[in-house]
Structure 1
Amino acid sequence: MGLDEDSLDYHSADPPGKIEISTTKPTSTQHDLSLAYSPGVAAPCREIDGDPEESFTYTARGNLVAVVSDGSAVLGLGDIGPEASKPVMEGKGVLFKRFADIDVFDVELDASDPDEFADHVAAMEPTFGGVNLEDIAAPECFEIERQLREAMDVPVFHDDQHGTAIISGAGLLNAAEIAGKDLSELDVTFAGAGAAATATAEFYVSLGVPEENITMCDIDGILTTERAEAGDLNPYNRRFAQDVPAGDLADAMDGADVFVGLSVGGVVDQEMVRSMADDPIIFAMANPDPEIGYEEAKSARDDTVIMATGRSDYPNQVNNVLGFPFIFRGALDVRATEINEEMKRAAARALADLAHQDVPDAVVKAYGDQPLQFGPEYILPKPLDPRVLFEVAPAVAEAAVESGVAREDVDADSYVEALEARLGKSREMMRIALNKARSDPKRLVLPEGGSEKMIRAAHQIADQGIAEPVLVGDRDRIRAAVDGLGFDVVPEVLDPEEMDLEPYADRLHELRKRKGVTRQEAADLVRSGDYLASVMVEMDEADAMLTGVTHHYPEALRPPLQVIGTADDTDYAAGVYMLTFRNRVVFCADATVNQDPDADVLAEVTRLTGNLARRFNVEPRAALLSYSDFGSVQNVGTSKPRAAADRLRADPDIDFPVDGEMQADTAVVEEMLQGTYEFSDLDDPANVLVFPNLEASNIAYKLLQRLGGAEAIGPMLVGMDKPVHVIQRGDEVKDIVNLAGVAVVDAQQE
Structure 2
Amino acid sequence: MGLDDDAREYHREEPSGKLEIATTKPTNTQRDLSLAYSPGVAAPCRDIDADPERAYEYTAKGNLVGVVSNGSAVLGLGDIGAQASKPVMEGKGVLFKRFADIDVFDVELDETDVDEFVRSVSAMEPTFGGINLEDITAPECFEIEERLREEMDVPVFHDDQHGTAIISGAALINAADIGGKDIEDLEIVFSGAGASAIATARFYLSLGARRENITMCDSSGIITEDRAESGDVNEFKREFARDVPEGGLADAMAGADVFVGLSVGGIVDQEMVRSMAENPIIFAMANPDPEIDYESAKAAREDTVVMATGRSDYPNQVNNVLGFPFIFRGALDVRATDIDEEMKRAAAEALAELARQDVPDAVVKAYGDQPLQYGPDYVIPKPLDPRVLFEVAPAVAEAAMESGCARREIDPDAYAERLEARLGKSREMMRVVLNKAKSDPKCVALAEGTDEKMIRAAYQLNEQGIADPVLLGDGDTIRAETERLGLDFEPTVVDPAASDDTERYADRLYEMRSRDGVTRTEAGDLVRTDTNYFGSVMVEEDDADALLTGLTHHYPSALRPPLEVIGAAEDTEHVAGVYMLTFKNRVIFCADATVNRDPDADTLAEVTKHTADLARRFNVDPRAAMLSYSNFGSVDDTSTRTSREAVELLHGDDEVDFPVDGEMQADTAVVEDILEDTYEFAELDDPANVLIFPNLESGNIGYKLLQRLGGAEAIGPMLVGMDEPVHVLQRGDEVKDIVNLAGVAVVDAQDE
Compute the TM-score of the two structures, normalised by the length of structure 1: 1.00
Query: Within 1, Cα distance between the matches of 2:195 and 2:125?
Result: 24
| 8 Å CA contact 2:479, 2:491 repeated in 1 | no
Q: Kindly provide the CA deviation profile for residues 249-272 of structure 1, in whole angstroms up to 9, marking residues without a partner as x.
A: 001101100000000000101110
Letter in 2 for 1:8: R
Query: Within 2, Cα distance between the matches of 1:242 and 1:675?
Result: 80
Q: Kindly provide the CA deviation profile for residues 56-107 of structure 1, in whole angstroms up to 9, marking residues without a partner as x.
A: 0000000000000000000000000011100000000000000000000000
Is 2:512 the counterpart of 1:514? no
Q: Which residue of 2 aligns with 1:411?
A: 411
Query: Within 2, Cα distance between the matches of 1:252 and 1:38?
Result: 67
Q: Which residue of 1 aligns with 2:558?
A: 556
Letter in 1 for 2:692: V
Q: How does 1:174-323 map to 2 (within 5 A)?
A: 174-323=174-323
Q: How does 1:233-632 map to 2 (within 5 A)?
A: 233-500=233-500, 501-527=502-528, 528-632=530-634
3-state SS of 2:560 partner:
helix
Shift of 1:30: 1.3
Shift of 1:218: 0.3
Query: Within 2, Cα distance between the matches of 1:643 and 1:49?
Result: 62
Is 2:680 the counterpart of 1:667? no
Q: Kindly provide the CA deviation profile for residues 304-345 of structure 1, in whole angstroms up to 9, marking residues without a partner as x.
A: 111000000000000000000000000000000000000000
Query: Within 2, Cα distance between the matches of 1:233 and 1:143?
Result: 17
Q: Kindly provide the CA deviation profile for residues 385-404 of structure 1, in whole angstroms up to 9, marking residues without a partner as x.
A: 00000000000000000000
Is 2:735 the counterpart of 1:733? yes
| 8 Å CA contact 2:572, 2:721 repeated in 1 | yes
Letter in 2 for 1:718: V
Letter in 2 for 1:164: T
3-state SS of 2:73 partner:
coil
Q: Which residue of 2 aligns with 1:708?
A: 710
Shift of 1:666: 0.9
3-state SS of 2:149 partner:
helix
Shift of 1:227: 1.1
Shift of 1:50: 1.1
Shift of 1:53: 0.9
Letter in 2 for 1:511: M
Query: Within 2, Cα distance between the matches of 1:552 and 1:135?
Result: 54
Shift of 1:678: 1.0
Question: Which of 727-736 and 665-674 deviates more?
Answer: 665-674
| 8 Å CA contact 2:362, 2:734 repeated in 1 | yes
Letter in 1 for 2:701: I
Query: Within 2, Cα distance between the matches of 1:647 and 1:338?
Result: 62
Question: Which of 224-233 and 429-438 deviates more?
Answer: 224-233
Shift of 1:487: 1.3
Query: Within 2, Cα distance between the matches of 1:78 and 1:569?
Result: 75
Q: Kindly provide the CA deviation profile for residues 466-519 of structure 1, in whole angstroms up to 9, marking residues without a partner as x.
A: 111000101110010000011121210011222131110110011111111111
3-state SS of 2:259 partner:
strand
Q: Kindly provide the CA deviation profile for residues 404-427 of structure 1, in whole angstroms up to 9, marking residues without a partner as x.
A: 010011111100000000000000
Q: Which residue of 1 aligns with 2:19?
A: 19
Q: Which runs of 5+ in 2 are unaligned?
A: none
Letter in 1 for 2:698: A
Query: Within 1, Cα distance between the matches of 2:650 and 2:606?
Result: 9
Q: Kindly provide the CA deviation profile for residues 603-650 of structure 1, in whole angstroms up to 9, marking residues without a partner as x.
A: 000000000000000010000011111111111111111111111011
Question: Which of 6-15 and 228-237 deviates more?
Answer: 228-237
Query: Within 1, Cα distance between the matches of 2:361 and 2:490?
Result: 20
3-state SS of 1:633 partner:
coil
Q: Which residue of 1 aligns with 2:699?
A: 697
Query: Within 1, Cα distance between the matches of 2:216 and 2:602?
Result: 78
Query: Within 1, Cα distance between the matches of 2:30 and 2:628?
Result: 35
Q: Kindly provide the CA deviation profile for residues 416-463 of structure 1, in whole angstroms up to 9, marking residues without a partner as x.
A: 000000000000000000000000000110110110010000010111
Query: Within 2, Cα distance between the matches of 1:305 and 1:516?
Result: 63
Letter in 2 for 1:524: D
Letter in 2 for 1:330: G
Q: How does 1:717-728 map to 2 (within 5 A)?
A: 717-728=719-730
Letter in 1 for 2:509: L
Is 2:672 the counterpart of 1:684? no
Is 2:650 the counterpart of 1:648? yes
Q: How does 1:68-107 map to 2 (within 5 A)?
A: 68-107=68-107
Shift of 1:675: 1.5
Query: Within 2, Cα distance between the matches of 1:404 and 1:87?
Result: 36
RMSD: 0.6
3-state SS of 1:588 partner:
strand
Shift of 1:199: 0.1
Q: Kindly provide the CA deviation profile for residues 138-157 of structure 1, in whole angstroms up to 9, marking residues without a partner as x.
A: 00100100110000000000
Query: Within 1, Cα distance between the matches of 2:608 and 2:2?
Result: 54
Letter in 2 for 1:556: A
3-state SS of 2:307 partner:
strand
Q: Which residue of 1 aligns with 2:149?
A: 149
Query: Within 2, Cα distance between the matches of 1:230 and 1:588?
Result: 76
Letter in 2 for 1:509: Y
Query: Within 2, Cα distance between the matches of 1:734 and 1:215?
Result: 45
Query: Within 2, Cα distance between the matches of 1:390 and 1:74?
Result: 30
Query: Within 2, Cα distance between the matches of 1:704 and 1:395?
Result: 36
3-state SS of 1:384 partner:
coil
Query: Within 1, Cα distance between the matches of 2:32 and 2:23?
Result: 12
Question: Which of 537-546 and 637-646 deviates more?
Answer: 637-646
| 8 Å CA contact 2:102, 2:325 repeated in 1 | yes
2:635 to 633, 636, 641: 633
Query: Within 2, Cα distance between the matches of 1:432 and 1:525?
Result: 37
Compute the TM-score of the two structures, normalised by the length of structure 2: 0.99
Q: Kindly provide the CA deviation profile for residues 550-580 of structure 1, in whole angstroms up to 9, marking residues without a partner as x.
A: 1010010000000000001110010000000
Letter in 1 for 2:211: E
Query: Within 1, Cα distance between the matches of 2:589 and 2:718?
Result: 10
| 8 Å CA contact 2:624, 2:690 repeated in 1 | yes
Query: Within 2, Cα distance between the matches of 1:237 and 1:696?
Result: 69
Q: Which residue of 2 aligns with 1:125?
A: 125
Shift of 1:237: 1.9
Query: Within 2, Cα distance between the matches of 1:502 and 1:296?
Result: 60
Query: Within 1, Cα distance between the matches of 2:615 and 2:174?
Result: 43
| 8 Å CA contact 2:581, 2:713 repeated in 1 | yes
Query: Within 1, Cα distance between the matches of 2:33 and 2:561?
Result: 59
Query: Within 2, Cα distance between the matches of 1:232 and 1:554?
Result: 77
Q: Which runs of 5+ in 1 are unaligned?
A: none
3-state SS of 1:68 partner:
strand
